[in-house]
Copies of this chain bind each other. A is one copy, B any other.
Amino acid sequence: MELHILSHRLHLMSILKENIDLFTHHLIKLALLQANKSCKFFSFTETTMGYTLIVDEDGIKELPQKEELQKQGSRWVVLSASSGPSEISGLTEITKSVIIPLANNNLSIMSLSTYQTDYILVKEENLHHVVRCLCPHFKVFHDVNGEMVPYKVDTLIEDQADPPIIERLPDGVCRSIVHPLASPQNRFLITSLQIDLLPQVISTLLQIMFYSNSFLPNPQDGHERFFSISIIEDKISLVLDTDALALFPSGILGTGTEEECWKMVKIGAGPLGFEESGIVAQISEPLAEADIHMYYISTFLHDHTLIPEVDIDRALSLLQNRQCIQ
C-alpha cells in the first residue's frame, strides 16, 4: 500500500452565518467562476453553526483578510492512501492503516471524505511524526513538482526527542467515544458533478451556498442544515440534503435519483478543537469493524459521519455502546 503526501498546504477557516456576505464575492470567484485556476483544493461546508472553508495557499490569497474570517493557526498537509495504482476506496481500510495508528500516537487529524476519495489532513508541524507512525504500513510518497517520488523516510534522522511509536493500545483498553453524538433526521446524497457542467448549476449552487435560508426549506425539528462542496483538482464532490435536489436541473448530478441515501451522525456538542486526537478513530473503528460504509467530514466545530440509511440503526447502536462521555 502506498501513502501519498499531496503537495497542497491547506488553511482551515470559519465564517459565522451572519458574516457570509462579506466573503460571497471572493468565494464565488474562487470556487464557481474558477478565475484562479491555481487554487487546486477548495472545500466549503455549511452547517447549522456556520461555514467551514479549507483552501490551499493559492486559495487563501483570494480571500480578504478580515477579522470575520477566523483561521485555525496550522497549515495542514493532505494524505491519500492507495493500494498501488488505484486509490483505496472507503474509510474502512484507511481506518485500520492510517486513522488508528495516528490516534494511538496522539496525533490529531481532520478527515475530509469526498465522492471521489477520502483525505486525511494532518498538521504540517506533525508531518515527521505522522510519517514515522505510518511508514510501517505504507510505502510513503510525496509530491515533488507534480510527480510522486519516494519520501526518504529511511534518512529521517530519529531524534532522541522523538516520542516512541505506539503500535497499539494496551491490551484490554478499548477506545471509547468521548463526545456526544446526535443523529438528525435529514437524508443526504453524496454525488459528483462534472467540472464542465459547473456554469449550468451556478444559480443552484449560489442559492444553496450563500442563501440557504431563502431558497431551502428551514430545517424542521430534528433536522440540521448541512451542505458540503469540494472542488479538488477539478473534481467536484457534493454532499447535499435531499431537500436541495429540487433546485438542480434534472439529470445533471452524478446521481440523478435518491438511489442511495445517507444519514448523518454529528459528533460533538461544543467545538471539538484541533488538538484532541482520536476523535475520528473513536467513530470509524467500530464502524470499520462492522464493515459499515461511511464518509467522514470534519468541520471547524464538529465532525460528521455519513452512514447508509439502511445501516444507520445498526451504526448508532454500535456507537452508543462505545460512548463514555467524559
Chain A residues within CB distance 8 Å of chain B: 20-22, 24-26, 28-29, 32-33, 35, 64, 198-200, 202-203, 206-207, 210-211, 214-215
Instruction: State the CA gap A215–B33 with chains docked (Å).
Output: 10
Q: How far is the CB of A173 from chain B (nearest CB, A)?
A: 50
11 A–B contacts from the bound complex (CB under 8 Å): A28-B28, A28-B206, A28-B210, A29-B211, A32-B203, A33-B207, A33-B214, A35-B214, A198-B203, A199-B203, A202-B203
Q: How far is the CB of A212 from chain B (nearest CB, A)?
A: 11
Determine how many copies of this chain the complex contains.
Answer: 2
Contacts of A32 in B (CB 8 A): 203, 206
Instruction: State the CA gap A20–B25 with chains docked (Å).
Output: 8
- Chain A interface main SS type: helix
Instruction: State the CA gap A21–B26 with chains docked (Å).
Output: 8
Contacts of A211 in B (CB 8 A): 29, 33, 35
Considering the complex, give the chain B residue whose CB is closest to the CB of A200.
B200
Specify which of A32, A202, A210, A215 lies most central, judged by the most chain B CB atoms within 10 Å of its CB: A202
Q: How far is the CB of A66 from chain B (nearest CB, A)?
A: 10
Contacts of A206 in B (CB 8 A): 28, 32-33, 202
Q: Are B25 and A210 in contact (CB under 8 A)?
A: yes
Q: Are B21 and A25 in contact (CB under 8 A)?
A: yes
Q: Are B200 and A21 in contact (CB under 8 A)?
A: no
Q: Are A33 and B203 in contact (CB under 8 A)?
A: yes
Considering the complex, give the chain B residue whose CB is closest to the CB of A35.
B214
What are the nearest 3 A-B pairs in CB distance?
A: A21-B25, A24-B25, A199-B203
Instruction: State the CA gap A202–B64 with chains docked (Å).
Output: 24
Instruction: State the CA gap A237–B25 with chains docked (Å).
Output: 24
Instruction: State the CA gap A79–B220 with chains docked (Å).
Output: 46
Task: Evaluate whether A21 and B214 lie within 8 angstroms (CB atoms) in the complex, with A28-B206, A202-B206 already known.
Answer: no
Instruction: State the CA gap A183–B221 with chains docked (Å).
Output: 61
Q: A28-B210, A33-B211, A35-B211 are in contact. List 18 more A-B contacts (CB 8 A).
A: A21-B25, A21-B26, A21-B64, A22-B22, A22-B25, A24-B25, A24-B28, A25-B25, A25-B210, A29-B211, A32-B206, A33-B206, A33-B214, A33-B215, A35-B214, A198-B203, A200-B200, A202-B202
Q: How far is the CB of A321 from chain B (nearest CB, A)?
A: 45
Contacts of A207 in B (CB 8 A): 33
